[in-house]
Structure 1
């Protein structure tokens, strides 16, 4: 109990240290009552973190290392450089290695240290997936804002700017990025297509194509966007029905995958010596390895069955 409490306090201290280093303090006085904010030199710890970030950035740039490039961080919604995120990953790996060293020695510490980059990539992929799903869920409201702006007499760029102002994240960020790129001279069609590719949204591809066709042949773009919005809403309803029908299969797969581990845990709690033969004989280790292989194959098979494409 004391060991777990110590590890929890150590992890909390490192987490608070990371928050203090990464997040700069800003004045809490209202904007209209303060002078223009100028970030000072900061504390010694902040200066050390900045120096470490610059040093890591220099090493990564000289060796042309792209472990976590800017595009991955932007897709995940993280506003930090590759060097900052790399420092966080290394810090997390060191914390995991320290916990493993306390629990089981150098070998466990090594096992806790190695998966850190893979866990970081999975973390970025998870954040990017959630961000894309949120963007898709906001497309209906975005189309209503665009159509309303066009009916009010605004141009398509002004309507996109209004949608960037009124929408929530991540739609506001993506719309603002389109406005910024077009202001710098990039073609609107290219910006829209890049946004659709970056967010992996088929629905936004339809929006980009509708705007492109309207710019070429003319017509009432507001009515076209309303029709696209209706189609997207119908597709969303169908997706919801498919997900609800596939939820039972997914839940059954989760139960089947967790059942062997639950049974082994129950046996170890009820009768600790009952499973000793499995871990003391070569035949037992062979059966465990074969079970892991069969469970992996079965899990991938079930995932293929319940992963419906629509």
Structure 2
């Protein structure tokens, strides 16, 4: 076995063990040192190595702002940032080592570089799904708050009820608001943070209505009923717009995927024919020009079908 393959298998082993241990470690519990004063937590050598790796990453991330933590909060991921960074780095090492084992170091390097990008896209996808679910639950949430207010609850108590009886992610966000208010933070600031995480325009108007009502008074239940009715009407219009734009979106997807589908078919049906395109520098220039024009056309079509109202 060559030294390169040996190093590759060693990287695969180390990355797999570290990532597996980090995924098994209980991250939502208080450490044993805090639960039992004077008790020193002992673990296996692999656990201590994983903790040392996460500690080094935590020191590296310290003082670099909380933008990465905000991304995890928006996505609803409970894994600590330091552990997620170590897991992604371990995956990069494993993929690079797999490329070395296959005798394709450039492919391994490419997979290692793409892994953090895919992780970021995965977090963005989770955040988008979480925001969409929050938006779909907003009408029901406002009705529950209005009903609680009419039953004699205060606004913080009504929000606490949502945190206990609602569905995630709305229940998690309102439970967080309730806990922040209990420790002394103002309600307006806590709701503003929810707006920043959810990026929901309708909920922004809800927070504005609540803020104005707390200053000038009035029947907040009736105000929330009116806002809920407006949100339902906006949702109906949004659904109609999506249905009318679905034809254009499908046409755009087909036009974007067609060149790649044709290229894949030719690569299978006639490899010699398509190989002439990549065997000459002029062919690579044509491919680059085609990608640039496809990118411009994709952005153009996206702007045409992305209707704002």
User: Is the TM-score greater than 0.5?
Assistant: yes
Cα gap change, 1:193 to 1:211, in 2 (>3 Å): same
Q: Cα RMSD (Å) of the superposition?
A: 2.6
- Aligned equivalent of 1:166: 165
Farther-moved stretch of structure 1 (112-121 vs 295-304): 112-121
- Aligned equivalent of 1:249: 248
- Aligned equivalent of 2:239: 240
1:92 is aligned to 2:101: no
**TM-score (ref. length: structure 1):** 0.84
The separation in 1 between residues aligned to 2:181 and 2:25, in whole angstroms, is 31
The separation in 1 between residues aligned to 2:211 and 2:59, in whole angstroms, is 42
**TM-score (ref. length: structure 2):** 0.85
Structure 2 residues without counterparts, runs of 5 or longer: 1-11, 28-34
SS at match of 2:167: coil
- Aligned equivalent of 2:5: none
Structure 1 residues without counterparts, runs of 5 or longer: 1-10, 27-36
Question: What is the CA-CA distance between 1:159 and the residue it aligns to?
Answer: 0.4
Question: What is the CA-CA distance between 1:76 and the residue it aligns to?
Answer: 1.0
SS at match of 1:69: helix
The separation in 1 between residues aligned to 2:45 and 2:143, in whole angstroms, is 50
Counterpart mapping for 1:1-310 below 5 A:
18=19, 21-24=22-25, 41=42, 43-61=44-62, 64-65=63-64, 69-103=68-102, 105-310=104-309
The separation in 2 between residues aligned to 1:240 and 1:279, in whole angstroms, is 45
Question: What is the CA-CA distance between 1:116 and the residue it aligns to?
Answer: 2.7
Cα gap change, 1:261 to 1:53, in 2 (>3 Å): same
Q: Is the 1:178–1:188 Cα contact (8 Å) retained in structure 2?
A: yes
Q: Is the 1:211–1:221 Cα contact (8 Å) retained in structure 2?
A: yes
Farther-moved stretch of structure 1 (214-223 vs 151-160): 214-223
The separation in 2 between residues aligned to 1:66 and 1:82, in whole angstroms, is 12
Aligned pairs, how many? 288
Q: Is the 2:99–2:108 Cα contact (8 Å) retained in structure 1?
A: yes
